[in-house]
Amino acid sequence: MRNRFDEQLFELNREIIEMGAMCEEAIASAAKALTNGDVALADKVKANSGVIDQMEREIESRCMKLLLHQQPVARDLRLISAALKMITDMERIGDQAEDIAEIVAFLNGHTMEGMELIEEMARETIAMVTGSVDAFVKKDVELAQEIIDRDDIVDDYFSKVKCGIIAMIAEHAADGEFALDLLMIAKYFERIGDHATNIAEWVIYSVTGVHKEA
């Protein structure tokens, strides 16, 4: 019975890693579409968003079956409950990558000066998501804590982007709508950073049994 349970836990880990990788790809593609004004790539991100949603449902179902039909010990319960929380954040990361892609598609290739800071913010955010998934794979508490600490960097980028956009509107009032679209994109990246932080916190819980909010 335990061997079968361990096999299912292995599959659960594999599926979470796969879902995390898909989220990483979605964010990276959305960021690249923004940088290059690539509407076709943005449309591809939107088209693939349903796959992440489906993965969340499948993993949630696996977790519930493990809880209902098996007899998990405390360590297993931590892993399963953390998995349920993590996939919620991953699904939201996928949604926000889609939101960014929708704005990029709406901009229809429009780019201008002032986007460099958002691109730097995007790279930092992608690194956070990648790191949070790596921390889960490796069960690495120190790496997870590093990801949590890096959220301050993303927040600082967002503050700088806001200041830059205010200056942009002051100098180029005609580009006000475009500037607000950029602000929304920056806000989505900031939220993705928050979700990566949440994932890292649940990684720590899955290993230690201690959660920041506890």
* In the chain, where the domains are located: 2-208
Tokens 């100098």: give the residue.
171
Q: What does residue 110 show for φ and ψ, rounded to 5 degrees? A: -70, 120
pLDDT single digits (tens) 122-173: 999 999 999 999 999 899 999 999 999 999 999 999 999 999 888 888 887 7
Q: Which residue has the higher pLDDT, 41 or 165?
A: 41
Are 189 and 121 in contact by the 8 Å Cβ rule? The answer is yes
Mean pLDDT within 23-31: 93
- Which tokens hold the place of 163? 């200041």
pLDDT of residue 18: 94
Residue 1 has pLDDT above 60, yes or no: no
Domain spanning 2-208: which superfamily?
A: Phosphate transport system protein phou homolog 2; domain 2 (1.20.58.220)
- Cα separation of 134 and 199, whole Å? 11
pLDDT of residue 150: 95
pLDDT single digits (tens) 165-210: 888 888 877 778 888 898 999 999 999 999 999 999 999 999 998 8
* pLDDT class of 108 with cuts at 50, 70, 90: confident
What does pTM read for this prediction?
0.91
Mean pLDDT within 5-30: 91
- Cα separation of 79 and 72, whole Å? 10
Residue 46 has pLDDT above 60, yes or no: yes
The pLDDT > 90 percentage for the chain reads: 64
pLDDT of residue 35: 87
pLDDT of residue 167: 85
Q: What does residue 198 show for φ and ψ, rounded to 5 degrees? A: -60, -45
- Cα separation of 206 and 210, whole Å? 8
Q: What is the DSSP string of the chain?
A: -HHHHHHHHHHHHHHHHHHHHHHHHHHHHHHHHHHHT-HHHHHHHHHHHHHHHHHHHHHHHHHHHHHHHS---HHHHHHHHHHHHHHHHHHHHHHHHHHHHHHHHHHTT---TT-HHHHHHHHHHHHHHHHHHHHHHHT-HHHHHHHHHHHHHHHHHHHHHHHHHHHHHHH-GGGHHHHHHHHHHHHHHHHHHHHHHHHHHHHHHHHHS--TT-
Cα Rg, the chain, nearest whole Å: 19
Residue 111 has pLDDT above 70, yes or no: no
Residue 214 has pLDDT above 60, yes or no: no
* pLDDT class of 47 with cuts at 50, 70, 90: confident
pLDDT of residue 107: 85
pLDDT single digits (tens) 73-106: 788 888 899 999 999 999 999 999 999 999 999 9
- List, in order, residues 6 or more apart from 82 with CB less than 8 Å away: 202, 203, 205, 206
